[in-house]
Structure 1
């Protein structure tokens, strides 16, 4: 039985989530400019994901946030395309099925909110994340769609919902 649970973010989670995302990005050697590292959204994730058809989920274990992922309308294609956003896990969450369960939670949310596709941007060296995306049925596309502002991301994937 798992000792972790997935739930929606609460205001008291904001600092832990911000610190988690930044620490994982630093661990992976991700550029700080043109990526999620510099997003103003990290300062108040609860408020960022307050709108319609968007949510941010966290993985909590022993009162500690060990991962998270967001799903929201893709800017520029809001009606039909959801974007998987800011999906990061601490080392202790990896290899335990947490990512797959989180992915399913986000994709289910997107389907329930009438999105037709899901979009992800990532980096080529994020190999574990790319394995998860592949396992979840995402396929690469040639160029970015929508307007994420993450100009340093060079891998683009979509999945029909």
Structure 2
């Protein structure tokens, strides 16, 4: 089974919304609606125009996972919308890892040196995944002042892509 990664926009809106809301609401009971996430209906404006991206992982032409980058300053971005369908999670598929590596490559190629993300405590496997990928948990007060905070997020992580500085 081959995984295809590609930049996606609103032509995949229905699949994107379906994938993300199902995981948030049904699987993890996160109290969030589509109305709370207007970015999902304006992918080009919200992600691409400021210099970020929105990537999809496809298996047999079906969306199996997403990851997005909101560029919020010259050299920093926020990871958003990292979701993989339940049946495609885990090392055997490696979709989350491929999506993250693709986003990190995009960030490096576009002069972004710091990646941040916010999540919720219930997503323990996600937190372990980020820690394995060298993200450090930080306090909310350590976030850059222009970090685009999402209402439900209470756990925050940071990855410096240029650890030599």
> What is the TM-score normalised by the length of structure 1?
0.88
Contact in 2 for aligned 1:14/1:46 (Cα 8 Å)? no
1:4, 1:61 within 8 Å by CA — same for their partners in 2?
yes
Residues in 2 aligned to 1:22 and 1:118: alpha-carbon distance in whole angstroms: 24
Q: Match of 1:123?
A: 120
The CA RMSD over aligned residues, in Å, is 1.8
Instruction: State the distance in 1 between where 2:77 and 2:128 align.
Output: 20
Higher RCO (C-alpha 8 Å, min separation 6) = 1
Q: How many residues align?
A: 155
2:83 matched residue in structure 1: 88
Of 64, 71, 78, which aligns to 2:69?
71
User: Residues 23 and 120 from structure 1, CA distance in 2 versus in 1: closer, same or farther, beyond 3 angstroms?
Assistant: same
Identify if the C-alpha distance between structure 1 residues 17 and 150 changes in structure 2 by more than 3 Å, giving closer, same or farther: same
* 2:131 is equivalent to residue 134 of structure 1: yes
Encode CA deviations 1:45-103: one digit per residue, 9 max, x unaligned: 244333152110001111210110001213xxx12211111111111220121101111
Q: TM-score under structure 2 normalisation?
A: 0.86
Distance in 1 (alpha carbons) for counterparts of 2:115 and 2:124 = 19
Contact 1:15 1:43 in 2 (8 A): no
1:22–1:37 CA contact under 8 A, matched in 2: no
Gaps of 5+ in 1: none
Contiguous gaps of at least 5 residues in structure 2: none
Task: Report the Cα distance in structure 1 between the residues aligned to 2:4 and 2:101, rounded to whole angstroms.
Answer: 14
Structure 2 contact 47–71 (Cα < 8 Å) conserved: no
Between 116-125 and 144-153, the greater mean CA deviation after superposition: 144-153
The answer to whether the aligner puts 1:14 opposite 2:19 as a matched pair is no
